[in-house]
């Protein structure tokens, strides 16, 4: 894959700016490598949060005499609704791919369109999460109700903050690209982050919602 | 140079940078080269490294002062100098300060200053992020220490076990400052770890393959990778602790179903790699110093590197040996006992390799060498007492006694801190352009070594006699009197040795001011690339990026072998060294935004602890910082190129053109085979 990409873009470079070639020891740009290293680090952040959730998910009700609400988290899940929002988030990965594809072809209007669509789908997912959180609180399961609700809100909340950060990056990128040219690689690097956040959601959805 | 010309261009570099010159419309960019502004807004890795070093030394004095208070309190039985509560705060703050505010940033100082020089680069890969790391760390450290004035310091010990860390047992704000302060400093370390990892992977000079990197660079690389993976784990633990204390969650509150064990596991999964994060930079420094003053290459370079990597991997599999007394079950205890015994092997490999490097060498005991040999000796003692902890039955006896205190001070003071002092004496001329006095330095070394052993040696005995750590006093009849008094006297000898060091710094500087003697680029007849450029290091580091062919490249440019394998000089040092007079070098421009972004973080921290509204100005500052940062090109297009602002294009001499980004388009330079050494200054 790398080879074809290289070939494809060498043409572009020859035409556009032969004087400004950045070299690196690995052949990967600093920005992209930096993002990979950061994502590696982020894996362990979610690893820690997921472990915490797995430890606490079934505590309320199973240990007698505990303070806190005995309501089980799983009794409140609305699987069809969350499947919907998960599907929306996964589709945003598709639009992200289309955005990277457009900027490689140098098609700026399309790039912007797909960037904004990705951000929109991400925002829709966040809206779903806010709705879900409010519903839980109305049912009487807030952040401090018991250990499993605390772990749940912490884990999904951290993921939500990651999505929100991604939405801001995407919108900022779309806005900047209206004023000046943006390097394709910048879009690709933001895309790496976005796909990572999506993959993490696949894990969280499976572990939190689907495993009984 | 085939190696360099065949380097692939980067993927996907379409589009062009259209540079905006005045991003916020209001502020002009900082341009000062001298004065306080040149330090506050710098993105130069050397200035950042020096600031890391200076700040961490100040915190060494703070943490050292706290240590003296501890020792004074324990000097005689039944002492009333500190109350039990104050004693808890002092030893907690001492531990956290020494780990996060002294050893780690002092190692970061060396990493920042030396990494780009050792791999032949002009700066780190993301210079502004480098400045951000410094300021976030420094402001986070000040934030953490401000707890002394705002209701008292943290008091749960540096590993802060539940339930002592809960609001019930620690109602002051101390542990809130611990949690939020370490989160802020964690951000700094993560940013810096990503930055330095990318620097090492991506910014190496042409020809410098991974196995031609100096050992210090290698050890720093392992440390950065450990940081990348260890910091998120402590982040999770601290976030949970913060939620418990500030937002009413109950992650570690057993009465509500929380599990105090979770904290222990999360903390030590971070905490044990952290031990290697603190010791490996020092190992790297020692591995640079010993070959130079033995006039021999490092013995078994691949094993030196490999054992460092092995320590990095195995460091993840030993964390629960801190928890043998927690009742986690025989299988876990057995597994972690075994892995703890095994991790002594790569460490032993390092010790033996240093000894083999010195064996048969022409040893020269400069102060740097003395400190390095000190590390080898003291760390071996600490390592041996460490292996004794691997035996779980013995460890359950020793846990929480002074035997443990003795052990980790032998590895962290005798190992890490002595190594860092070795590095200071070794690289001082490179950073400041004058030598530290060798004769005063020897006083410093011997006083410190004697004081150190007087302080921590007796603690082995006290621990085996059953003296518990973290207890603010003891009674007359327990038989602890003599050795405690000896340890207290020792701690003041250490304090005296630090005064000698500060006197050395001041008097060497004054002597240099009165009668400047430049030590030259290579005062020690050393081996790695940083000695190839003038002292102090010019702002642009290298006139031209060296093309590397061998390990210890600089040495091999000076020395070769005759037919009988004897060492012969093949070139004069002056001929090999660079002059530092290149003009027209693109350097990243200074910036306000790292400081603006960093200054928002402690404000958010105070907001979290006292009143969320106070976080608003902090958050606004952070948003402004990010906005200005994004809109600003990393290199100011209006700025002159190079350290002396020569106009670019017409008047530069041909050798300097090689180091000039603009010269890529120059046909004459292209014809030159060394054209490919052209390096752009890093972006970001």
Interface predicted TM-score of the whole assembly (ipTM), two decimals: 0.89
Beta bridge pairs of residue B568: B560
Rounded CA separation B49/B430 (Å) = 13
Would you give the DSSP letter of residue B359? T
Element (H, E) at B202: helix B174-202
Residue B65 half-sphere exposure toward CB, CA atoms < 13 A: 5
Q: What is the DSSP string of B262-303?
A: HHHHHHHHHHHHHHHHHHHHHHHHHHHHHHHHHTSPPTTHHH
Q: Test B682 with A150 for CB contact under 8 angstroms.
A: no
Rounded Cα distance, A35 and B125, in Å:
13
Give yes or no for residue B306 having a pLDDT over 80: yes
A149: closest chain B residue by CA: B249
Residues B444, B367: contact at Cβ < 8 Å? yes
Searching chain B, which residue's CA lies closest to the CA of residue A144?
B249
CA angle B657, B659, B665 (to 5 degrees): 55
B463 against B651, higher pLDDT = B463
Instruction: Render A115-144 in DSSP notation, one character per residue.
Output: HHHHHHHHHHHHHHHHHHHHHHHHTT--TT
Q: Which of A84, A118, A86, A81 is nearest to A99 (CA)?
A: A118
Reported confidence tier of residue B645, pLDDT bands at 50, 70, 90: very low
Query: Which of residues 616 through 655 in chain B touch A, CB cutoff 8 A?
Result: 630
- CA dihedral angle for residue B457, residue B460, residue B466, residue B470, rounded to 10 degrees: 70
Q: Taking residues B279-290, what's their average pLDDT? A: 97
Q: Where are the domains positioned within chain A?
A: 28-210
| Bridge partners for B619 per DSSP | none
What average pLDDT does range B504-509 have in this prediction?
A: 96
CB pairs under 8 A between A and B: 198
Give, as one character, the DSSP assignment of residue B17. -
Closest by Cβ to B201, choosing from A25, A63, A144: A25
Q: Alpha-carbon dihedral of residues B308, B312, B315, B316, nearest 10 degrees? A: -160
**Which residue in chain A has the smallest CA separation from B245?**
A144
Q: Is B190's CB within 8 Å of A41's CB? A: yes
Rounded to an integer, the average pLDDT of B145-172 is: 93
Q: Give yes or no for residue B546 having a pLDDT over 80.
A: yes
Q: CB within 8 A of B329, min separation 6: which ones?
A: none
- pLDDT of B458 above 60: yes
* Helix intervals (H) in B536-666: 553-558, 573-576, 593-609, 615-631, 654-657
Q: Which residues in chain A have their CB less than 8 angstroms from residue B545's CB?
A: none
pLDDT band, very low/low/confident/very high, at B255 (cuts 50, 70, 90): confident
Nearest to A150 among B8, B251, B630 (CB): B251
pLDDT of residue B565: 81
pLDDT at B27: 64
Q: Does B26 touch chain A (CB under 8 A)?
A: no
A165 CB neighbour count, 10 Å cutoff: 13
The answer to whether A178 faces chain B, any CB pair under 8 Å, is no
Higher pLDDT pick, B299 / B656: B299
pLDDT at B76: 96
Residue from the list B193, B240, B664 with its beta carbon closest to the beta carbon of A52: B240
Q: What is the 3-state secondary structure (H, E, C) of B134-184?
A: HHHHHHHHHHHHHHHHCCCCCCCCCCCCCCCCCCCCCCCCHHHHHHHHHHH
Lowest mean pLDDT among B38-47, B476-485, B546-555, B666-675: B666-675
- In this structure, what token pair is assigned to residue A89? 């988030």
Residue B641 reports pLDDT greater than 80: no
- Measured distance CA(B542)–CA(B659) in Å, rounded: 8
pLDDT of B678 strictly over 50: no
The predicted structure's pLDDT at residue B631: 82
Q: Which of A99, A147, A188, A190 to mutate to test the interface with B (most CBs of B within 10 A)?
A: A147
Quick: pLDDT tens for B661-675: 333 333 333 333 333
Distance, CA of B80 to CA of B97 (rounded, Å): 24
pLDDT at B247: 94
Instruction: Give A-chain residues touching B266 at CB under 8 angstroms.
Output: 48
Candidates B15, B258, B684; nearest CB to A182? B15
Instruction: Tell if the CB–CB gap between B232 and A143 is shorter than 8 Å.
Output: no
Is B202–A26 a contact, with Cβ atoms under 8 angstroms apart? yes
Residues comprising chain A, all counted: 212
Contact B105, B137 (CB under 8 A): yes
- What is the rounded CA–CA span in Å between residue B329 and residue B321? 12
CB contact under 8 A, B257 and A147: yes
SS3 label, residue B568? strand
B267 touches chain A (CB under 8 A): no
What span, in angstroms and rounded, lies between the C-alpha atoms of B281 and B218?
Answer: 9
**% of chain B exceeding 70 in pLDDT:** 89
CB B296 within 8 A of CB B357: yes
Residue B161 contacts A, CB cutoff 8 Å: no
**Under DSSP, is residue B88 helix (H, G, I), strand (E, B) or coil?**
helix
The DSSP string of A27-71 is SS-HHHHHHHHHHHHHHHHHHHHHHHHHHHTT-TTTSTT-SS---
Residue of chain B whose Cα is closest to the Cα of A185: B12
Is the Cβ–Cβ distance between B452 and B311 less than 8 Å?
no
Q: Which residues of A touch B202 (CB under 8 A)?
A: 24-26, 28-30, 33
Residue to mutate among B6, B8, B11, with most A CBs inside 10 A, is B11
Q: What share of chain B is helix, strand, coil (3-state, %, to 5)?
A: 65, 0, 35
Rounded distance between C-alpha atoms, residue A105 and residue B416, angstroms: 53
CA distances from B528 to A59, B117, B216, B260 (A): 58, 9, 10, 48
Give chain B positions within 8 Å (CB) of A52: 236, 240, 251, 262
Distance from CA of A119 to the nearest CA of B (A): 19
Q: Coil, strand or helix: which one is B569?
A: strand
Q: Is A107 on the interface with B (CB under 8 A)?
A: no
Nearest-Cα residue of chain A relative to residue B249? A144
Is the model's pLDDT at B472 over the cut of 90?
Answer: yes
DSSP annotation string for B366-429: -HHHHHHHHHHHHHHHHHHHHHHTTSHHHHHHHTTBHHHHHHHHHHIIIIIIHHHHHHHHHHHH
| pTM of the predicted structure, to 2 decimals | 0.89
Q: How many residues does chain B have?
A: 684
Q: Which residues, including other chains, have CB under 8 Å from residue B409's CB and lie 6 or more apart? A: B382, B452, B455, B456, B459
Is pLDDT larger for residue B21 or for residue B47? B47
Instruction: Report the C-alpha gap between A45 and A196 in whole angstroms.
Output: 13
How much is the mean pLDDT over chain B? Answer: 88
Give the single-character DSSP code of A207. Answer: I
Q: For A176, which residue in chain B has the nearest alpha carbon?
A: B631
Chain B touched by A25 (CB under 8 Å): yes
B431 and B477 Cβ atoms separated by less than 8 Å: no
Rounded-to-integer distance, Cα B310 and Cα B312, Å? 5
Nearest residue to B156 via CA among B241, B247, B259, B66: B241
User: With a CB-CB cutoff of 8 Å, which residues 184-223 of chain B face chain A?
Assistant: 190, 193-195, 197-198, 201-204, 208
Q: Which residues of A touch B188 (CB under 8 A)?
A: none
pLDDT at A70: 80
Residues of chain A below pLDDT 70: 1-23, 61
**Burial (CB count <10 Å: 0-12, 13-18, 19+), residue B254:** middle
Give the CATH superfamily of A28-210. Cytochrome c oxidase, subunit III, four-helix bundle (1.20.120.80)
Determine whether the interchain pair B202/A60 forms a contact, defined as Cβ–Cβ distance below 8 Å: no
Model confidence pLDDT, tens digit, residues B77-107: 999 999 999 999 999 999 999 999 999 999 9
The C-alpha atoms of residue A209 and residue A202 are separated, in whole angstroms, by 10
B684 close contact with A: CB closer than 8 A: yes
CA nearest neighbour of B261 among A15, A51, A203: A51
Pair B220, B111: CB distance under 8 Å = yes
| 3-class secondary-structure state, position B552 | coil
Angle between helical axes of A184-204 and A30-56 (0-180°, round to 10): 10
């Amino acid at each position: 894959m790398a080879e074809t990409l290289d070939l494809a873009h060498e043409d572009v470079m020859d035409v556009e700016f032969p004087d400004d070639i950045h070299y690196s020891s690995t052949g990967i740009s600093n920005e992209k490598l930096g993002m990979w290293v950061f994502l590696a680090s982020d894996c362990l952040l979610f690893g820690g949060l997921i472990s915490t959730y797995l430890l606490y998910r079934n505590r309320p009700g199973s240990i007698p005499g505990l303070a806190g609400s005995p309501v089980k988290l799983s009794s409140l899940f609305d699987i069809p609704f969350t499947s919907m929002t998960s599907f929306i988030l996964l589709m945003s990965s598709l639009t992200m791919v289309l955005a990277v594809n457009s900027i490689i072809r140098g098609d700026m209007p399309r790039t912007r369109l797909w960037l904004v669509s990705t951000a929109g789908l991400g925002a829709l997912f966040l809206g779903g999460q806010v709705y879900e959180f409010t519903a839980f609180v109305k049912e009487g399961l807030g952040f401090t109700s018991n250990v499993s609700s605390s772990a749940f809100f912490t884990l999904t909340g951290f993921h939500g903050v990651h999505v929100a950060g991604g939405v801001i990056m995407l919108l900022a990128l779309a806005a900047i690209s209206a004023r000046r040219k943006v390097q394709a690689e910048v879009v690709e690097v933001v895309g790496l982050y976005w796909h990572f956040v999506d993959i993490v959601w696949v894990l969280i959805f499976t572990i939190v919602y689907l495993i009984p | 140079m085939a190696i360099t010309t065949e380097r692939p261009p980067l993927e996907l570099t379409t589009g062009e940078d259209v540079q905006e010159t005045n991003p916020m419309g209001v502020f002009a960019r900082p341009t000062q080269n001298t004065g306080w502004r040149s330090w506050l807004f710098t993105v130069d890795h050397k200035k950042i490294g020096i600031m890391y070093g200076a700040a961490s030394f100040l915190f060494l004095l703070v943490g050292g002062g706290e240590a003296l208070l501890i020792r004074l309190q324990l000097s005689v039985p039944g002492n009333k100098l500190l109350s039990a509560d104050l004693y808890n705060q002092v030893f907690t703050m001492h531990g956290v300060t020494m780990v996060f505010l002294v050893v780690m940033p002092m190692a970061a100082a060396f990493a920042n200053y030396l990494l780009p020089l050792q791999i032949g680069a002009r700066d780190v890969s993301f210079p502004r992020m480098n400045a951000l790391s410094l300021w976030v760390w420094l402001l986070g450290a000040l934030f953490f220490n401000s707890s002394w004035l705002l209701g008292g310091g943290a008091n749960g010990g540096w590993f802060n076990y539940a339930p002592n860390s809960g609001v019930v047992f620690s109602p002051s704000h101390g542990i809130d400052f611990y949690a939020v302060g370490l989160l802020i400093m964690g951000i700094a370390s993560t940013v810096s770890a990503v930055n330095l990892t990318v620097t090492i992977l991506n910014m190496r000079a042409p020809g410098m393959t991974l196995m031609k990197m100096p050992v210090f660079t290698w050890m720093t690389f392992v440390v950065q990778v450990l940081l990348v993976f260890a910091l998120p784990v402590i982040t999770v633990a601290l976030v949970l602790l913060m939620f418990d204390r500030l937002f009413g969650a109950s992650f570690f509150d057993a009465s509500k179903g929380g599990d105090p064990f979770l904290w222990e596991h999360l903390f030590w999964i971070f905490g044990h790699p952290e031990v290697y994060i603190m010791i490996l930079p020092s190992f790297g420094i020692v591995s640079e110093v010993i070959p130079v003053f033995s006039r021999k290459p490092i013995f078994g370079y691949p094993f030196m590197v490999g054992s460092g990597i092995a320590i990095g991997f195995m460091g993840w599999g030993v964390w629960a040996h801190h928890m043998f007394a927690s009742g986690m079950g025989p299988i876990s205890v057995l597994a972690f006992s075994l892995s703890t015994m095994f991790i002594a092997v790569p460490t032993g490999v390092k010790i033996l390799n240093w000894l083999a490097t010195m064996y048969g060498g022409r040893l020269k005991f400069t102060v740097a060498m003395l400190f390095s040999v000190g590390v080898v000796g003291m760390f071996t003692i600490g390592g041996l007492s460490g292996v004794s902890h691997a035996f779980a039955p013995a460890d359950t006896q020793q846990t929480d006694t002074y035997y443990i205190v003795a052990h980790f001070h032998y590895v962290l003071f005798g190992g890490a801190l002595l190594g860092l002092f070795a590095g200071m004496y070794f690289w001082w001329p490179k950073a400041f352009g004058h030598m530290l006095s060798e004769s005063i330095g020897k006083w410093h070394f011997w006083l410190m070594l004697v004081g150190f052993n007087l302080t921590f040696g007796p603690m082995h005995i006290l621990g085996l006699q059953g003296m518990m750590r973290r207890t603010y006093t003891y009674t007359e009849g327990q038989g602890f009197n003599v050795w405690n008094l000896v340890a207290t006297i020792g701690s003041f000898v250490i304090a005296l040795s630090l005064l000698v060091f500060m006197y050395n710094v001041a008097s060497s500087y004054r002597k240099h001011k009165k009668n400047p003697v430049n030590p030259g680029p290579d005062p020690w007849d050393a081996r790695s690339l940083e000695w190839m450029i003038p002292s102090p290091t010019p702002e642009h580091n290298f006139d031209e990026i060296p093309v590397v062919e061998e390990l210890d490249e600089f040495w091999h440019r000076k020395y070769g072998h005759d037919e009988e394998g004897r060492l012969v000089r093949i070139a004069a040092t002056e001929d090999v060294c660079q002059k530092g007079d290149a003009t027209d070098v693109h350097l990243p421009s200074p910036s306000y935004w790292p400081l603006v972004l960093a200054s928002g973080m402690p404000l958010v921290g105070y907001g979290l602890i006292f009143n969320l509204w106070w976080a608003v100005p902090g958050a606004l500052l952070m948003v402004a910082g990010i906005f200005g940062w994004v809109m600003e090109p990393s290199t100011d297009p209006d700025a002159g190129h190079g350290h002396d602002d020569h106009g670019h294009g017409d008047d530069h001499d041909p050798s300097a053109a090689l180091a000039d980004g603009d010269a890529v388009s120059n046909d004459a330079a292209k014809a030159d085979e060394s054209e490919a050494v052209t390096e752009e200054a890093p972006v970001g």
